[in-house]
Structure 1
Amino acid sequence: MRSSGLIRTQVPRRVAIVGGSRIPFARADGPYATCSNQDLLTAALGGLVERHGLHGERAVGEVVAGAVLKHSRDFNLARESVLSTGLDPRTPAYDIQQACATSLQAVIAVANKIALGQLESGVAGGADTASDPPIGLNDRMRHILLAARRAEGGTARVRELARVRPKHFVPEVPRNAEPRTGRSMGEHAARTAREWGITRQAQDELAALSHRNLASAYDSGFLHDLVVPFNGLARDQNLRPGTTAQKLAALPPVFGLPDAEGHPGAPAEGPAGAAEPTMTAGNSTPLSDGAATVLLASEEWAERRGLRPLAYLTAYETGAVDFTEEAGEGLLMAPAYAVPRMLRRVGLGMEDFELVEIHEAFASQVLATLSAWEKQGLAPVDRGRLNVAGSSLATGHPFAATGARIVATLAKLLAERESAGPGALGLISVCAAGGQGVTAILERA
């Protein structure tokens, strides 16, 4: 009996990260305002194809990618993007989605197949455009139109359509709010900031450092083979090289302010003004457009094509928290539990990592996560090893693209870091909507 194609008990193969390609991230309603998710993902994927010579018959085994803000036309986003590039049109592809962790989960999906011997190579990625969100008919109008479609006969159809009123033309716009709580992600983060005692100054200092580090990464040429220019942009539009904590301190708070009735917006229960709001547009990520991709492969595949692995994906862990009012674990705090659990499983401590990459949804969330890790007994993270090439506060955060950006960046950082030898480790931590988190460990090749 042939066993080919079956899942067998065997030692998993090492999964190499060969390279990455992304387009510069843009602020919403900016240079990419008229671009679709497919336009963005195609550009990032096309850059990967060109840089790594992925033309030809089945050069890549599979493509996995996704988007968070999807139109109905995006139902087959990954596959349609493949067909718009130089990849072999016989390359299969499928979509995946887990909010801000989408493309990191795509990396894990591809990696698992490579490790099991089901693929030799694959591409993971993600794209999002906040400039072109899906705006639909409101439910009342939709129900009327569906009823009219089901009606038998012209008279019955006209009767249903006659129920349409001007109010039914008000569109449904995607809301930046958690369905379970009605609070925005920023409001949840403001509550966590208060609970963990995260100061405004600490947030602004972290945000300023993110901009300085990203500017240095561009100026040194580090990002030259990771970022492909697109639609007039060569650098991330949100980058402000001259940002300082002093300049950020002048910005007004945008989350945690009392509402019109005098109740606190999000930080915690209590009277209006009980806590000074600390979160601003400067220490929070902006709505962004962009796309990012990562090339993964077996060592044998990379060697055959003359490509040098940058790093290996060696471990990963997902997690989720109960962020409801009763539990109050914090919407973006799942990595605070997932990382310690992963490190216990593989027998590592925080001191074993050369570099640490934490997705900067908000500066307050990064700082709260660091504090939570220490509270659980992990060693403090050396700030000189944290997000050394900048992160989401400076680059921006197109939801589904962030994980792939971080994986490609960390892999190259490990490969080129002078103080890191073979086997040096890097940690990835990504929080996501719905109280979720995805974490991973990379090892220098």
Structure 2
Amino acid sequence: MREVVICSPLRTPVGRMGGALASISALTLAETVLGALLERTGLDPAAVDGVIAAQGYPTMEAPAFGRVAALNVGFPVTTTGYQLDRRCGSGLQAVMNAAMEVQTGVADVVVALGAESMSNAPLYTVEGRRGFGGAGLMLHDALSRGRETVGGRRFPTPEGNVGSAERLRAEYGISREAQDALALRSHERAVAAQQSGAFDAELVPVEVPGRRESVIVGRDEHPRADTTLDALGALRPILLRSDPDATVTAGNASGQNDAAAACIVTTPERAAELGLRPTLRLVSWAVAGNDPLRFGVAPVPAANLALARAGIRFADLDVIELNEAFAVQVLACLADWGLDADDPRLNPRGSGISIGHPIGATGIRMLATLAHELPALDGTLALETMCIGGGQALAAVFERA
């Protein structure tokens, strides 16, 4: 199969739930990053075969999300597009789907896109077309409902992802103090990256209309420079009422966020023809499944398989981007791998707890960050992996191009 390279991974800032980007739809965020991708690379939209878009909480305002976003930005009608959902792994899956199309010769140039506005996740009904009963209609919150139903009928997760995280806490004997320490380190690293300008090259500012004038949002909103171990320790565990030993809090778990990210997936030869500069080469990737109630440690088999396929070991990696869905699941994965929580290769610029976790965009957000981390650290090999609600995980090995 043909070699695959990644060019110009970009992302918008990550907004907090109900924060600076809350008035901006996922579609507009996607259009913003797609437009910037074309502008910064000088890529002719007619050269793009398709746009594969990831989104976890879609509506019918933009069906076949990738196609609609492409048309709105000015791609020709010959540019195809679709959307996919592998929950937390959706963005990386869009990159892998694009890679498979390029590897097999189905396409030469594909844009992988991820976008999410969790601030605007829909409330919906599945009963409205059958008329109104005496009790009215039930509206489901897509955010919470998706976490309860992701395991299907046979593997219910009534306490959502938090309940699954608490199972790992009990199984691995992970303390609240260890979780809060990891969360603090994540914020410290993200804030340091912000202050040093390390994120600047990967960021695309977003214009937010205001009553009198527009506001430009140009930096991540989620990292907290003022957080401390004492502040984290004062937060109440989410499931404390049902579990007196609960430890997972809003402070040591990932955020609910808004963002978009995109990259170009092609061959080295086509990149040269188009004047694109590859930043990463795809080495290998893998997907794995496990019990939905233990989904947080699914990155272990996924990463192990991706590394085995590449013929490399953890010791060979220069960067390990493991998405922080929860501090406890990161610590559980590290325990299985035999890695230290303070390993400098692990999320050098923060992750889901500090930067945020806009479901559909996270995988490409991580890719944009590691693409800039590798040269900054004079590294060569990186692993990107994340757990996925419902009992799955994705992992991919990239080499600095």
> Structure 1 length as normaliser, TM-score?
0.82
| CA apart distance, 1:76 | 1.7
Cα separation, partners in 2 of 1:65 and 1:138, compared to 1, 3 Å? closer
Identity between Structure 1 and Structure 2 (%): 35
Q: How does 1:345-384 map to 2 (within 5 A)?
A: 345-374=309-338, 383-384=343-344
Q: How does 1:66-77 map to 2 (within 5 A)?
A: 66-77=54-65
Aligned letter for 2:333?
A: T
| CA apart distance, 1:80 | 0.8
Aligned letter for 2:369?
A: T
Asked if residue 211 in structure 1 is aligned to residue 194 in structure 2, the reply is no
Match of 1:305 in 2: 274
Asked if residue 238 in structure 1 is aligned to residue 238 in structure 2, the reply is no
Aligned letter for 1:435?
A: G
Decide which of 173, 178, 194 is 2:170's aligned counterpart.
194
Q: How does 1:42-191 map to 2 (within 5 A)?
A: 42-56=31-45, 58-139=46-127, 141-144=128-131, 164-174=132-142, 175-179=145-149, 180-191=156-167
Alignment deviations for residues 232-281 of structure 1 (CA, whole Å, 9 cap, x no partner): 32111111123333332222222x3133xxxx2xxxxxxxx3x3x22111
- Confirm or deny: 8 A CA contact 2:9 2:371 kept in the other structure: no
- Confirm or deny: 8 A CA contact 2:43 2:274 kept in the other structure: no
- Structure with higher Rg: it is 1
Aligned letter for 1:65?
A: A
RMSD of Structure 2 on Structure 1 (CA): 1.9
Cα separation, partners in 2 of 1:252 and 1:181, compared to 1, 3 Å? closer
| CA apart distance, 1:192 | 1.0
Match of 1:160 in 2: none
- Confirm or deny: 8 A CA contact 1:314 1:441 kept in the other structure: yes
- Confirm or deny: 8 A CA contact 1:49 1:87 kept in the other structure: no
Aligned letter for 1:404?
A: I
Aligned letter for 1:322?
A: D
| CA apart distance, 1:436 | 0.7
Asked if residue 287 in structure 1 is aligned to residue 256 in structure 2, the reply is yes
Aligned letter for 1:257?
A: L
CA distance in 2, matches of 1:281, 1:380: 23
What SS does the corresponding residue of 1:332 show, helix, strand or coil?
helix
Decide which of 324, 332, 346 is 1:386's aligned counterpart.
346
Decide which of 391, 398, 419 is 2:358's aligned counterpart.
398
| CA apart distance, 1:365 | 1.0
Match of 1:427 in 2: 383
Aligned letter for 1:69?
A: Y
Deviates more, 1:183-192 or 1:217-226: 217-226
Match of 2:400 in 1: 444
- Confirm or deny: 8 A CA contact 1:283 1:363 kept in the other structure: yes
Deviates more, 1:217-226 or 1:354-363: 217-226
Alignment deviations for residues 31-55 of structure 1 (CA, whole Å, 9 cap, x no partner): 2323222111111212211111123
- Confirm or deny: 8 A CA contact 2:157 2:163 kept in the other structure: no
Match of 2:153 in 1: none
The runs of at least 4 consecutive aligned structure 1 residues that moved more than 3 Å come to: 86-89, 379-382
- Confirm or deny: 8 A CA contact 1:19 1:296 kept in the other structure: no
- Confirm or deny: 8 A CA contact 1:176 1:185 kept in the other structure: no
- Confirm or deny: 8 A CA contact 1:49 1:86 kept in the other structure: no
| CA apart distance, 1:125 | 1.7
CA distance in 2, matches of 1:312, 1:406: 15
Aligned letter for 1:172?
A: H
Any unmatched runs of 5+ in structure 1?
Answer: 1-11, 145-163, 265-272, 325-329
| CA apart distance, 1:22 | 1.2
Any unmatched runs of 5+ in structure 2?
Answer: 150-155, 209-215
Decide which of 233, 249, 258 is 2:241's aligned counterpart.
258
| CA apart distance, 1:143 | 2.4
CA distance in 2, matches of 1:200, 1:355: 26
